[in-house]
Amino acid sequence: MSIGSPLKPASARAAAAQLHGLRANLAWAFALLACSRKSAATPLWRARLRLAIGAAVAVAIIAASMAVLDAPAVSAAQHAPESMIMVFEYVTGFGKSVWFLLPIVVALALIACLATPSLSRMSRGVLAALTVRLGFLFFAIGLPGLVFTIAKRLVGRARPFVEGGAGPLVYRPLGWNVEYSSLPSGHAVDAFAAAMAIGTLWPRTRPLMWTYAVVIAVSRVVLTAHFPSDVMVGGLVGALGALLVRDWYAARRLAFVLGADGRVRSWPGPSFARLKRVAGQLIAP
């Protein structure tokens, strides 16, 4: 077929069907996220009360850290063994949200492009459940990081040794300067948001994910990029941000359900065997 010749009718129909399927998938996704119908189950106030109490205790611990722990901790980190510093310099790079968000975006794009109306009802249900969960992970990890990337530059706390000392009380608010953006730690926000989000969907991953988050937080102090209170605040707001997104989903019965006791639990998702079967259908010629 020459460059200027029109598409054959069969090819044109196939292209139109693919475009229609993509538009339908995108419309469904936006409609699902915009859904405002809330669950008639027990209100979230009990879960919110537990969160508020936990947050208040954490704030008290963080305040004590600022007063007695920050300066000695970063001063001691200066004398850490070189081998330890090398390990944490490598590890700390895995604390950014891009390691989670990029694969999620790629997966959502593939689902939007490959899913067609010709798929079986079971396959469409599996893809719908997967899309909801991927969307939850994207917002639960991405939103806390975005909000506090801006907030830390407005707070303006100096990083350790920026002005020649380990003083934790040096601030330049509204400076929008990376050297004065220590509070909270962005790596800790991302790592703890990811640990909370993934752990709420798949509880068996919690030991691994919380270990990951703690190691990332420790790396920021060992490398004297942050004070201990910076990573504590980052961990707190990252985890709370992910929980707020979870509660938004639970109120709409998306991926989570609110029990009569006020606790939020995840809906059972599609099994790996079903995901593998649907993936085979999507890539089949």
Q: Are residues 269 and 168 part of one domain?
A: yes
Q: Considering the entire predicted model, what is its pTM?
A: 0.81
Kindly state the helix (H) or strand (E) to which residue 265 belongs, with its residue range. Answer: strand 264-266
Q: Are residues 76 and 24 part of one domain?
A: no
Q: Are residues 192 and 118 part of one domain?
A: yes
Tens digit of each residue's pLDDT (9 = 90 or more) over 147-172: 999 999 899 999 998 877 767 888 88
Show the 3-state SS of 97-133: CHHHHHHHHHHHHHHHHHCCCCCCHHHHHHHHHHHHH
pLDDT at 21 over 80: no
DSSP 3-state assignment of 41? coil
Q: Are residues 150 and 12 part of one domain?
A: no
Q: Are residues 175 and 57 part of one domain?
A: yes
- At residue 45, the pLDDT reads 67
Higher pLDDT, 58 or 79: 79
- At residue 36, the pLDDT reads 45
Q: Are residues 216 and 123 part of one domain?
A: yes
Q: Write the burial class of residue 119 (CB in 10 Å: 0-12 exposed, 13-18 middle, 19+ buried).
A: middle
Q: Are residues 162 and 258 part of one domain?
A: yes
Tens digit of each residue's pLDDT (9 = 90 or more) over 99-122: 999 999 999 998 888 777 777 788
Tens digit of each residue's pLDDT (9 = 90 or more) over 173-214: 987 888 899 999 999 999 999 999 999 999 999 999 999 999
For residue 58, give its domain range. Answer: 43-283
Tens digit of each residue's pLDDT (9 = 90 or more) over 225-257: 999 999 999 999 999 999 999 999 998 899 998
- At residue 111, the pLDDT reads 87
Show the 3-state SS of 221-234: HHCCCCCHHHHHHH
The per-residue pLDDT of the chain, averaged, comes to 84
Sign of the C-alpha dihedral, residues 89, 90, 91, 93? positive
pLDDT at 280 over 80: no
- At residue 13, the pLDDT reads 58
Higher pLDDT, 88 or 167: 88
Q: Are residues 99 and 6 part of one domain?
A: no
- Helix/strand number for the chain, H first, E second: 10, 2
Q: Are residues 30 and 47 part of one domain?
A: no
Tens digit of each residue's pLDDT (9 = 90 or more) over 31-49: 555 554 554 444 566 667 7
Q: Are residues 61 and 16 part of one domain?
A: no
* Confidence band for 2, pLDDT divided at 50, 70 and 90: very low
Domain count, the chain: 2
Q: Are residues 171 and 58 part of one domain?
A: yes
Higher pLDDT, 27 or 104: 104
Average pLDDT over residues 68-89: 92
Question: Using CA atoms, how far apart are residues 186 and 235, in angstroms rounded to an integer?
Answer: 9
Q: Are residues 117 and 191 part of one domain?
A: yes
